[in-house]
Structure 1
Amino acid sequence: MKHFLPVFLFLLLGHVHSQETIKTIKGTISDGQDPLRDVNITVKDTDRVVSTDASGKYEIDTHEGETLVYSHIGKETLEILVEDVTTFLNVTLRDKIQELDEVVVTKRYHKTQKELYGEYNGNKNLIKTIYGILDISKMPFRAQIIDGDDINLSAVDILTVLRAKIPNVFIPNNTAGRNDTPVFFPRGGSAPVLWEVDGMLMRSAPTFIDIQSIDRMAIIQGLGALVKYGSPAAGGLIVINTKVANFSREPGTNLPYDQAKLRNNFFEKGDAMGSENLAVPMYVQMLHATVDWNEAKESYFQLEKIYGQSPYFYLDARSYFQKEYKDKAMVKMITNNIEANYSNNPIILKALAYQLDEERNYGASLELYKKIFILRPHYQQSYHDLAHAYKNSGKIERAALLYARHQFLLREGLFNKSETFSDILDRDFNNLLVQEGEVLSREKVFFTSDEDDFSGTRLVFEWNDSEAEFELQFVNNNKRYYTFKHTSFDNENHFKDGKQNRFSCQEYLIYDPNGTWQVNVNYLGNKSLTPTYIKATVYYDYGKPYQRHESKVFKLRVKNSNQELFKVQTGDMLTAR
C-alpha cells in the first residue's frame, strides 16, 4: 500500500534545534577504586582539552551536542555526548584488557551483594549505600565505622555525636536548631561533608534523626569518597544506616536472615534480591511509619521543609499518596509542584509522566509529553513518547501523523536510522495501523502497513536518563536466562546508538510466553548521584484484536545489585516487587 498524506501536515512540527549556550561540565574520574589524575578530557574535533587534578576532578566548557573524549594511558577511551541536562559526569575508566590463553579461575575473592546482605547483621564492617553494600575493611581508603551501640543516647542530636567521635570536626555555631547545618572535616577544605541517610543524599546534617534509630555510621574523611560519589563528596562523606531500613530478613518472611545458609555457597548467577532487602530514603520510611492519612499529611509537610530541594522527594511522596491513599487532592498538589519547579527539566518531567502512565492517567501524561517534545524536538525518543501518549489518549489520527512525520524526517536525512530504535518505532507504527485501521479509515487518513509476524508477549523498557547504565536479565520458566547489557563498555555500539540518535528504549520479545518469566535489573549508575526511573510496558497477546498492556515504573537507586523487577505470567498481568 502507499502513503496518502497531505504535505502540509508534515509542516505542523518544526525540526530546527539550536543550542549555543555554553555548558560547564564538572565531575570526577576514577578507575573504580582511586581517583585518576592527568586524564585528558577533549571536546571531540576541537582543540579544547583539560586534565584532571590529583583528586581526579575536572571542569570543561562545551555545548549541547558536542562529544567529550576521556583518555588516559593504559585505559579504554570513553566518549560521552553532551545533552541538554548534562552538568555532572563522574566517569570510571577501565583498564585495557589483553586476552590471555588458557586462563583458569580457581577461586572467587569478592563476595556478591546477596552474600553481603546476608552477613550485614553480623559484620559491623558493612555499610549499606546507594552503591550497594560496602565492606569498609576492604576499602583502599581510610574509613571509620561507628556502631549504634557505641553512641551515647544522651546526645542531643547527630551533631553532638560527631563532636564526641571525630576530633576537630567543625560545625558553625550560628546554625544551632536549623535544618541546613553544614559539617566540615579537619582535612576537607572548604567543602562541606556529604551525607547519605538510608540512600538519601544531602548536604546538611540530618539533625532530625532520632539518635536511638541509628544502626551504624561510616565516616570517610579525605578524598576516599570521591571515587564513587564524585566532587560532591570532596569534603568527605558520612553514611548512616538506621535500624528501620537495615533489618535483613529471610526472603518471604519477617524472620532474620539465616546466617547458616552462608556456610555453603549455593548462590547462582540468576538469583536476584527483592525490593524488601533494599534500603529506602529516610523520608519514605517516615511516611510509611504514619498510622493514618492525617498523620501522613502532617508528616509530608514537615519532611518538605527538609527535603524540599529534591525533586525525588516529591516524586516519592506523590507515589506514596497515590498508592497508599489514592488521595487525589494531595497527588494533584504534589504533581503541580513538580511541574512548576522542574518545567525545564525533561528528566524529571519524564519520571512524572511515567508515574501517570502507570496510573493510566493518560490525559495528564499526554500534556507532559507535549512539554517534553517542545524541550527536545531533536530527540527521536520524543516522537515515540508523544505518539504513544496520543494513542493511549484515544487520539489515534495524531499518533499516526506523528509516526509518519518521523518517517519523513528519516527519509529527508534530518534523523539518522538507528539499528535498534527504528525497528521499535516501525513495530509500534504497524501495530497502531493494525489495531486502529478502522478508526483511521473513518478519518480518511491512509498509511502503509508492513507485515509483523511476531505474536506473543512484548516488553518495552524506557528510561528517563540516557546516561543510565544497567543490565536487564530475562529468566524463563526453565530458569535459563538472557542478559541485555546497556553499558558503554559491554555494549558500546548500542550505547552510542542511543546517545547519537537520542533514544532511551529497548524491547524484548517473548515468542513462547508459557509459564512465568522473571525480569531482573542490575543498576550501574548514570554518572551522577541521582536515581534513574525505568518504565516497563508489557503487551499481552501482541498483535491480536484483544491485545492489552500495562506499565510499571521502577526507581533505580541501589547500584551493583541484581534486583528483581517483576514477573510475567501467561494469561495474567505482571506482578511487581
Structure 2
Amino acid sequence: MYTKFLLLFLFFPYILSSQTQKNTSFKTISGFVTYKNEALSGAKILVKNRNESAKTNFKGFYTIEAKTGEILTFDFLGLKQKAILIEEVTQTLNIELKTENKTPKLQLNKDLKLGGSSIGSLTSGFELVTIDAKTLNKNAATITEAILEKVPSFFTKQNKFGENLIYLKRQELKGPVLWQIDGFGFDMPFPIFIDEIKFIYISCTKLNGCIIKVETTINYDKIKDINFDNYYFSEEDYYNYDAILYENQKKYEPEYLNDFSDTSNSNEVLNTYKKQYSKYKDSDNYHFNVINYFQKTYKNKDILLEVLSDYEKFAANNPEDLKGIAYKYQELNEDKKALAIYRKVANLRPNYAQSYRDLANCFTDLKNYKNFWYIYANYLKKGFKIEDNDIGEIMASEIISNYTKGKKSNLHYPRIKINNADKISEADVRLVFEWNTSEAEFILEFVNPYLQTYQAENSIESSNRLILDQKKKGYTSKEVFIEKQTEGDWFVNFTYLGNKQYKPTILKVTTYYNWGKPNQTKKINVFEFTVENIKTQLLKLNKFS
C-alpha cells in the first residue's frame, strides 16, 4: 500500500507540469453593482490593459467578456474603485461600491498580509529606545507619526473612532502600546506639538509590555480647554461580548431538509437522501446544507461520508468546492480522503502556493514526512519562493516544525531549512485559518483576557492589493500565535462580509495546542458562512480548558 502511495506521489511533479498555465479563452462574467444595497446604474466595468468595457443597466446588472488572469475594475464617480482578478472559477461577481475613506491613516507597514502585519513572530527585539526631540521630524502631523518614523517595530491601526493606536509588530494580541506623558499614564496621547517634546523613552519587555514615556516642556497650569479624561480608552474600546455563538446563527433552512424530519434511523435517512438527490443536487449549496443538517441531527459519520462522496463527484472540476470537501474530511479525521481531494485541487491549480502547502500539510498529518519534504523541494525547484506573506509564514512554521522533528528522530530526508530567527517555533496556541474561496471577505477579531481587541480585515475595502496578491499567488490562509496564553478567556470572533457569489464561504480553523512541544495536539473546526455583518464567536480558548 505504501509503495503504491509513494508511486502516486512521485508522478505528482509530472502531473503539475502537464497542466495548462492559464485558460486563454474568453468567458462571460456577470453580476450586480450596488451602493448601500441599492442598484447602481451606469457603473463602468473595464478589463484592465484591454479595450473592453461594459456598464450596468438600471437594475445594476452587467455582463462582460474576460479571460482568467485579467483584472476587472469597477468604477462610479465619487465612489472607491474596486479591482478584481479573474480566476478559473469566476463566473459571478456581485460588487458593493463604497465612498472613499478620507480619514488619514498612519499605517506605514506595507506587508501584504491579513491585518497588515504578521501576528505571531518575534518582533525585532529591543528593551529601551531613547529619542532626542532634535532628531524628530518637525513636519510630522502628530507625535504618533513622528515616533513611527523612528521605530520600525511599531505600526498603527485605527479604532472605530478614527484614532490611531500604536501596536508592537507581531505582539498585537497583547493590546496597544501605553503612554506615559510627564509622569501621567494615558492610553493615547493628547495633542502635543513636536517642539514641546524634550525626550522620548520607549521600553519594551515581555513582563510589562511596551510603554512610550514622553518628557515635554508643557506648562500644565496654563493649559485650558483640554479634558485629559478623553485620552483614556472608554468602555466602547473594549470587548463588550457582542458576538453571538456560531450555533445560534439564524440560517435559512431549505424545504428539502423537511423530508428528513420523519426519519428515525440511519437506513431511513440514507434512503430519503437517495430518493431526493437527483431532484435537488443542483440546488444552491445542497450538499453542504444536507451535510450540516446530518452532522447536527444524526451525528453518523458513515452518512456524512456518503454525502461527501457524492459531492466529490458533483464538484469534480471546481477547486473551491473541493477545498470545502477536504476541510470536512479533515474535521472527520479522514486524512487520506482529504489528501486525495487536495491532489485534485493541485492538478486544477498547479501554480497556487496553497496547493503545495495543503498537500504537504496532509502528508504531515499522515506522518509521511518524506513526501512532505519532496513537496517543498518540488515547489522550490519550480521557481516558487517561500515569501514574506501569509502563506509563506505558514509554510515556514511547518517546515521548521518538521525540520525539528527530523533532527530529533535522525531522519535523513532532503530537508529545507528556514533560517528565520524571528519565527516562533514554540507557542501555547497556534491558529491556522483557511477559507475555500479567494472572494471571501471578513473581519477576524481577537480578544485577550483583558478584553482588549485586535481586528484583522480581509477585504477589498481595507486592502485591494492584498486580495490581488492572494489571487495572483494562490493562497487563502493566515496563521496567528498566542505565544503565552495567560489565564482567562481568549475569544476568536468572525464577521462575514460576503464573497461576491451565490454560495457560502467555508472556513476551516485548526487550533494547535502546545505548538512545537512534545505534547502538541490539534483540533479542526469547519464553519459555513452565508449571513453577513453578524459578529460570530468561533472559539473561546482558556488555558485550563
Cα deviation for residue 538 of structure 1 reads: 0.6
- Residue 555 of structure 1 corresponds to 528
Aligned partners of 2:346 and 2:355 also within 8 Å = yes
Which residues of 2 match residues 308-387 of structure 1 at below 5 A?
A: 308-310=281-283, 312-322=285-295, 324-387=297-360
2:390 aligned with 1:420, yes or no?
A: yes
Equivalent AA in structure 2 for residue 273 of structure 1:
I
CA distance in structure 2 between the aligned counterparts of 1:434 and 1:358, rounded to whole angstroms = 26
Match of 1:165?
Answer: none
Pick the aligned partner of 1:22 from 26, 38, 52. Answer: 26
Q: For residues 72 and 32 of structure 1, what CA distance do their matches in structure 2 show?
A: 13
The change in CA–CA distance for 1:41 and 1:269 in structure 2 (over 3 A counts) is farther
Superposition TM-score, scaled by structure 2 size: 0.67
Who is 2:243 aligned against?
Answer: 272
For the residue of structure 1 that corresponds to 2:371, the secondary structure is helix
Q: Which has the higher contact order (CA 8 A, sep 6+)?
A: 2
Give the drift of 1:415. Answer: 5.8
Distance 1:322 1:96, change over 3 A: closer
* Contact persistence 2:396–2:418 (CA under 8 A): no
Structure-2 separation of matches of 1:497 and 1:18: 17
Q: TM-score, normalised by structure 1?
A: 0.64
**Aligned residue for 2:61?**
57
Which residue of 2 is the match for residue 463 of structure 1? 435
Q: How does 1:383-398 map to 2 (within 5 A)?
A: 383-398=356-371
> Structure 1 pair 287/563, CA: closer, same or farther in 2 (3 Å)?
farther
**Alignment partner, residue 445 of structure 1:** 414
1:543 counterpart residue number: 516
8 Å CA contact retained: 2:431, 2:512: yes
Instruction: Kindly indicate whether the alpha-carbon contact (under 8 Å) linking 1:311 and 1:348 is maintained by their aligned counterparts in 2.
Output: no
Q: Contact 2:239/2:451 (CA < 8 Å) preserved in 1?
A: no
For the residues of structure 1 that align with 2:35 and 2:283, how far apart are their CA atoms? 29
CA contact (8 A) 1:36 1:56 kept: yes
Shift of 1:307: 2.9
Deviation, 1:50, is 1.3
Aligned-residue offset at 1:375: 0.5
Instruction: Kindly provide the amino acid, as one letter, of the partner of residue 72 in structure 2.
Output: L
Query: Do the aligned partners of 1:370 and 1:386 also contact (CA within 8 Å) in 2?
Result: yes
Equivalent residue of 1:519, what SS?
Answer: strand
Q: Is the contact made by 2:48 and 2:73 (CA closer than 8 Å) also made in structure 1?
A: yes
**Superposed, which structure 2 residues align to 1:140-179 within 5 Å?**
none
> What's the C-alpha RMSD, in Å, of the aligned pairs?
3.0
Aligned to 1:91: 95
Greater mean deviation of Cα atoms: 33-42 or 464-473: 33-42
Contact 1:416 1:501 in 2 (8 A): no
Which of 41, 50, 55 aligns to 2:45? It is: 41
Whether 1:286 and 2:255 are equivalent positions in the alignment is no
1:494 aligns with 2:466: yes
Provide structure 1 residue ranges, at least 5 long, that are not aligned to the other structure. 1-7, 107-264, 573-577
The answer (yes or no) to whether the contact 2:27–2:67 under 8 Å persists in 1 is yes
Q: How many residues align?
A: 400
Q: Name the % identity.
A: 28
Q: Deviations over 1:136-171 (max 9, x none)?
A: xxxxxxxxxxxxxxxxxxxxxxxxxxxxxxxxxxxx
Quote the offset at 1:498 in angstroms. 1.4
Is the alpha carbon distance of 1:555 and 1:370 closer, same or farther for their aligned partners in structure 2, counting shifts above 3 Å? same
1:72 and 2:76 aligned:
yes
Q: Which amino acid aligns with 2:417?
A: T
What is the identity, as a one-letter code, of the residue corresponding to 1:536? V
Q: Tell me how far 1:478 sits from its aligned partner.
A: 2.0
In the TM superposition, what is the alpha-carbon distance from 1:52 to its structure 2 partner?
1.3
C-alpha distance in 2 between matches for 1:28 and 1:386: 36
Distance in 1, Cα, partners of 2:312 & 2:537: 31
Using the TM superposition, give the Cα deviation of residue 308 of structure 1 relative to its aligned residue in structure 2, in angstroms: 2.1
Aligned match of 1:405: 378
**Cα distance between partner residues in 2 of 1:288 and 1:470:** 33
Paired residues of 1:37 and 1:56 also in contact (CA < 8 A): yes
Q: Secondary structure at the match of 2:414?
A: coil
> Which range moves more in the overlay, 368-377 or 46-55?
46-55
Q: 1:561 to 1:304 in 2, by over 3 A?
A: same
Q: Return the offset for 1:287.
A: 6.7
Alignment of structure 1 residues 216-295 onto 2, 5 Å: 270-274=241-245, 275-283=247-255, 286=258, 289-290=261-262, 292-293=264-265, 294-295=267-268
Q: Following the alignment from structure 2 to structure 1, what is the Cα–Cα distance between the partners of residues 436 and 484?
A: 30
Pick which of 399-408 and 485-494 moved more.
399-408
> Residue 403 of structure 2 contacts residue 415 of structure 2 at CA under 8 Å; is this kept in 1?
no
Q: Which runs of 5+ in 2 are unaligned?
A: 1-9, 105-140, 142-159, 162-235
Structure 1 residues 33, 340: closer, same or farther in 2, change over 3 A? closer
Aligned-partner Cα distance in 2 for 1:540–1:80: 37
**Does the CA contact (< 8 Å) of 1:418 and 1:497 recur in 2?**
no
- Answer yes or no: is the 8 Å Cα contact 1:460–1:505 preserved in 2: yes
